[in-house]
Amino acid sequence: MSWQTPIKLHLLFIVIFLISGCTTITHLGDGYDQSGSCVYLSAPETLKESFSELVVPEADFWKTEDAKIQYLIKRIRISKLGFERNGKKYSPGKAATFILWKKNLAKWNSQVHSAQDLVDVVCSGSATSGQPYRVICDDGTQHNLQSVLQNELNALEEYLIEYRAQKAEEALLEKVADSTEEEQALSADEEKESVLMQKINQETNSEVESQTYLSSVQNIFSSFNKKK
């Protein structure tokens, strides 16, 4: 072994150390922050506002899987976070446009039948490099887009369950109210009928009494005439 070999190895280790020291490896989160809370495309407290703006106006339409897919893409589009694909950063609008474009490609569209498919198939990462798509949060932390969209979809499903339960309860209360009004109206009609029957009975009794009185008078006159 040449005396130069240890020196070359030493220099190689120095170079590797310097390169590794200058290279920053950004940790990719799995959709949860350090406190264990879910990461969304906007602050958690704004989710209900998004639901009411994007879901409630067309409640029947939002029962379909296609509507849920559109909702998730809209959530990306209106987000104020950063997005990264294969090392290149994208605005929310461009990220949403790309996801929609990829979803509509024949290769992927045939595999997407639900919002869950969009998350698992389209948003799982780049088919070219195998790298996951990234969401860049305001604090600089990065998360897997697939994980964040899974949180978004879970929140949407929970909201829809609550929304449908609320609508079912409102429909039931409305039905009970209508039934109560009908019963009240029926009760009022029965009361009117009862009053009318009482009046008829009173008039009938008065007529009977009058006829009885007339009959008695006639009998008295008849007896008086016979005595004559």
Domain boundaries, the chain: 26-171
pLDDT, tens digit, for every residue of 92-106?
Answer: 999 999 999 999 999
Q: For tokens 């994007």, what's the residue? A: 54
The alpha carbon torsion through 170, 172, 175, 180 (nearest 10 deg) reads -100
Residues 135 and 137: their CA atoms lie apart, in Å, by 6
118 close to 69: Cβ distance less than 8 angstroms: yes
In this prediction, residue 18 carries a pLDDT of 38
Q: For tokens 């150390």, what's the residue? A: 17
CA angle 156, 158, 162 (to 5 degrees): 115
pLDDT, tens digit, for every residue of 140-189?
Answer: 999 999 999 999 999 999 988 888 788 788 888 888 887 777 777 777 77
Mean pLDDT to the nearest integer, 99-119: 96
CA angle 118, 51, 168 (to 5 degrees): 105
